[in-house]
Structure 1
Amino acid sequence: MRIVIVDDEPLARERLRRMIDAFPGYDVVGEAGDGSSAVHCVNETAADTVLLDVHMPGMDGLQIARELAEADVPPAVIFVTAHSEHALSAHNNHAAGYLLKPVRRDDLAAALARARQPSRAQLAALDGVVTGDGPTYVSARTRDGIERVAASDILYFWADQKYTTVYHMQGELLIEQSLLALEQALGAAFVRVHRKALVAKRHITGLRLDGEDGATLTLRHVRDPVPVSRRRLAEVRALIEG
């Protein structure tokens, strides 16, 4: 789980980071001390969860939470504050947790475990293509939470029965989207080369003709060639020659 800590007190951020570092499976990917920096940090790091102080100068934690909720795949928010009267506001903002300072280790562990369960807004974006004014992402739920991959990092998709494997720069991701839906959502950056394969054009490095057995594509960062069907061969050849 990727976590961002937001608190205007550096010592409070440091204490939370030390506790989180002792938990396996959690990674603090960023920190912020004010509202605008917090929103930017969460967007840049694609954090799954935000530990968010309520009382801060400028934008307070509740305002930040409302802005984060507008994201295509909003992170889980755990409010952290010294003021118990904010519990109702936290509930109304659909927070994944609410921790009182000084935060106890066991309470933090329990809140992070709850945050692993995707929210309704997150579930709505799972196993799909998330588009907006920024980069396009393919998102899916994994055992570690929600994982999303930028379209620019995707090498190709391979469909097998009811699942589709996303091969990307950092590894693999299993989703339930069909190649047809992916092809329609991702547009001209990808080309269908086989009934089972959708390939990123920018990563194609060559086409190899294999006689009666058809043809294969070589892709940057991919060891094994990707088959090209006879039906798609003319289109793929024209793409490469062009």
Structure 2
Amino acid sequence: MLQLPYCEGEIHMKIVCVDDEVNALAAIKKEVEKIEGITEVQGFTSPQAALQYICTHSCDVALLDIQMQGIDGLELAKKIREGSKATSIIFLTGYSEYAVSAFHLHVSGYILKPASKEDIERELQYIKEQPLFQQSRLLRVQCFGNFEVFVNQTPLKFERMKSKELLAYLIDRKGAAVTTGELCAVLWEERPDSLSLRNQLRTLIADLTRTLKQAGMQQVLIKRRNQYAVAVDCVDCDYYHFYVVILQR
């Protein structure tokens, strides 16, 4: 029986580290990269550059040093809140007196320097367990009406419409594995199976994989040898909800 979505297993995260001291930034990035499940780590010594990146890319967590030149960590956190509400914030500082200010900003974590892998991992685990974070890890799919896909309320942009059609068919299969031959037959109904067609399919699979990865949703697509499926527990789909209701009658 199809279950309502809850993305189980290892949750991948994209992290941004911000510290205006080069050596300190390198040290924190090194600790973050030791943690399993981290798919991408970006480091910035410029708070302005970090803010621009976070507001234009999918970012799960921002690790911010509080004491920085120009925009300090507290001010940067406020600006991140305005531009990227889905990004969780963890403060890094050598001074405990900033804890009250961090509390008032409702940040997700607070770590005293020097931060170890265990310190960071503990705070990330706390974030992973929050309902809002779990919800943000779900790819929202609208099947009734026009087929649309959303990440954090924003429509997902596809470079190729055929890639969107591919995802739509996999969604319709509700987690069942689909062979390359079946996909070719569905996506190109009037063309016979051929090596050229399968090469086109590989291009679409690569494009869909890249699109999902850029949105931080790579866990949605399951790939095995010549078979593809969607992880239904990582998808929030109106059709799936409707299907569950029908089965329960």
Give TM-score, length-normalised by structure 1: 0.57
Corresponding residue number in structure 1 for 2:28:
16
Shift of 1:59: 1.3
Cα deviation, 1:106-164, whole Å, max 9, x if unaligned, reads 212211212223464884795548xxxxxx97227xxxxxxx9832255232444989x
Deviation at 1:24, TM superposition (A): 1.5
Task: Give 2:208's match in structure 1, choosing from 169, 191, 200.
Answer: 169
Instruction: Name stretches of at least 5 consecutive residues in structure 2 with no aligned partner.
Output: 1-12, 142-147, 176-204, 210-217, 222-229, 240-249
Structure 1: state its 5+ residue gaps.
Answer: 130-135, 141-147, 180-242
**In the aligned structure 1, how far is the partner of 2:106 from the partner of 2:54?**
18
* 8 Å contact from structure 1 (residues 6, 13) kept in 2: yes
SS of 1:69's partner is helix
Which has the larger Rg?
Answer: 1
Q: Quick one: distance in 2 between partners of 1:124 and 1:27?
A: 16
**Kindly tell me: are residues 124 and 41 of structure 1, through their superposed partners in 2, closer, same or farther at Cα, counting changes over 3 Å?**
closer
Which of residues 56, 69, 72 is equivalent to 2:81?
69
Contact 1:49 1:77 in 2 (8 A): yes
Q: Where does residue 52 of structure 1 map in the other structure?
A: 64
Letter in structure 2 aligned against 1:32: F
Matches within 5 A, 1:219-234: none
Give the equivalent residue in structure 2 for 1:111. 123
Q: State which of 16, 30, 34 in structure 2 corresponds to 1:4.
A: 16
- Does 2:112 match 1:100? yes
Would you say the 8 A contact 1:31–1:41 is kept in 2?
Answer: no
Q: What is the aligned partner in structure 1 of residue 151 from structure 2?
A: 139
How far residue 28 of structure 1 moved from its aligned partner, in angstroms, is 3.9
Identity, % of aligned pairs? 26
The 8 Å contact of residues 20 and 68 in structure 2, kept in 1 or not, is answered as yes
1:229 — aligned with what? none
Higher strand share: 1
Partner of 2:101: 89
Specify the SS of the correspondent of 2:83. Answer: coil
Q: Distance in 2 between matches of 1:177 and 1:101?
A: 42
Secondary structure of the corresponding residue to residue 77 of structure 1: strand
Question: The residue matched to 1:152 in structure 2 has which SS?
Answer: coil
Rounded to whole Å, the distance in 1 between the matches of 2:157 and 2:78 is 27
**What's the Cα RMSD here?**
3.5
Deviations 1:66-85 (A, max 9, x none): 12112355211110011111
> Which protein is richer in helix relative to its size?
2
Aligned residues: 166
Of 137, 147, 151, the match for 2:157: 151
Matched residue SS, 2:164: strand
Residue pair 2:31, 2:116 contacting (<8 A) in 1 also: no
Question: Of the two structures, which has the highest relative contact order with CA contacts closer than 8 Å and spacing of 6 or more?
Answer: 2
CA distance in 2, matches of 1:88, 1:122: 27
